[in-house]
Amino acid sequence: MSRLGFIGLGIMGMPMAGHLISAGHEVALHSRSGVPASLADAGGKACSSASEVAQQADVIFLMVPDTPHVEAVLFAADGVAAGLSPGKTVVDMSSISPIATKEFARRINELGCEYLDAPVSGGQVGARNAALSIMVGGSQATFDKVRPLFELMGKNITLVGGNGDGQTAKVANQIIVALNIEAVGEALLFAAKAGADPAKVREALMGGFASSKILEVHGERMIRRTFDPGFRIELHQKDLNLALSSARELGVALPNTATAQELFNACAAHGGAGWDHSAMVKALETLANFEVA
C-alpha cells in the first residue's frame, strides 16, 4: 500500500482517484467543491488543503482544469509545494501549457522532489473504465516508479520524453480529436442533407477506412442528439488555445485547428460552452440550416 494524494475530483478526477482507493492505497483527497461522499465512504481521506494532501502523501496527483489552476494548487500559500518534503513526487494529469509545465517542474525539482506531467485522453468513459491513454513527460526512473499507479487508471501509457513533452503530446491529441469531430460532423451533415439516413451511413463507414473512435462514439452522439458531457467544449477550447498559441511561438501554421476552434467558439456563443465537444456539429448545422437527425 502506498501513501497517495489526489487533488481535483471532477468528472475525470473522481473515478481516477476511486481506482487508486479500490486498489487498497491510502489516498488523501482535496477538491475545491469538496470530497465526494462516495470516495470518503470507500476509504479516501478528505483534506482541507492541497498542502495537507502533500504532507500526507508520497505521490501527489493533480487533475484540475487549466494552467492557472495547476499553478495555484502547486504554489499558493496552502498549495502542494508548502507541504512537500524531499523525495516526494508530483504528478500533474491536467492538460495545460507545455511551457508552463517545464517551469513548474523546475520549481518542484528545486524542493528535492520529482515531477511528471501525465495528461490523459479517453474522457469520462475512459476514466470510469480505467482505460485512459496517459502521455508522460519526466525522467525514466520516476516514470518507472509511478507506472504501477498509472496502470490502475489507464491502458496505453507512454513516456514521451522530458518534462513538458507529455503536455505537448496531449495538445497534439486534441488537435487530432477536434479535426476528426469536424470531419465526422461534416460527413454526417452532408449525408443527411443529401437524403440518406445518417445512422445507416455511419454504420457503413464503421466497416471501412473512415472508421474511428470519433465516428463510433461522437457520430452516434450527433445522430442521437446526446450532448451532455463527456468532455466540455470549453475545455477543448482551452486545449486548442494552447495549440494555437504554441504554434505562434514555433512559427507553425495550424489552419484547420483554427477552423475547429472557431466552430467551438460559435457553439459557446450559442450557450454551448458546457456541451460535449461532439456538439461542434451544431455549428455546422447552423451554417447549413439543416440538422443531422
User: Among 45, 88, 170, 238, which one carries the catalytic annotation?
Assistant: 170
Q: What are phi and psi of 133, to 5 degrees?
A: -90, 130
- Give CA–CA dist 56/84, Å, rounded: 9
HSE, side-chain direction, 13 A CA sphere, residue 137: 25
- Give CA–CA dist 197/121, Å, rounded: 31
In the DSSP assignment, the letter for residue 232 is B
Beta bridge partners of 136: 159
Active site residue 193: no
Q: What are phi and psi of 205, to 5 degrees?
A: -70, -25
Answer yes or no: are the C-beta atoms of 2 and 56 closer than 8 Å.
no
- Give CA–CA dist 235/75, Å, rounded: 23
Nearest-5° Cα angle at 134, 131 to 135? 160
Catalytic residues: 170
